[in-house]
Amino acid sequence: MRIEFTALGLTFDAEVTEFYPGRPERISGPPENCEPGEPPYIEIDDLKVILYSAQEHIACDWLLDSDCAEEICQLALDAMLARYEDGE
């Protein structure tokens, strides 16, 4: 599945290779029904910058190995969670 999101003032397109929406913790009721939550998770690949003015997609997978990787992945995760919550 492909996802578009904005980061660093640019619009990106990426292939989502793995996604898990997470699970909230359960802390009420009998102790045997309580369990820790799990955070959401995403892996992306084939990252491209979309240049609408030139109608091009420019490969930029190298950003996934840069100092910006964590921010890019978090924004991709936020976009994917929004899609998931919308039922897509």
Per-residue pLDDT tens over the stretch 24-60: 998 888 888 888 999 999 999 999 999 877 778 899 8
For residues 52-65, one letter each, b for 16 or more C-beta atoms within 10 angstroms of the residue's C-beta and e for the rest, the string is: eeeeeeeebeebbe
The tokens of 7 are what? Answer: 């980061």
Here the CATH number for the domain that contains residue 62 is 3.30.300
Termini Cα distance of the chain: 11
Range of the structural domain that residue 47 is part of: 2-85
Number of domains in the chain: 1
Q: Which residue has the higher pLDDT, 29 or 80?
A: 80
Report whether pLDDT(13) > 70. yes
At 50-75, the pLDDT tens digits run 987 777 889 988 989 998 888 899 99
**pTM > 0.75:** yes
Beta-sheet strand order (sheet of 2-7): 2-7, 10-20, 41-51, 56-59
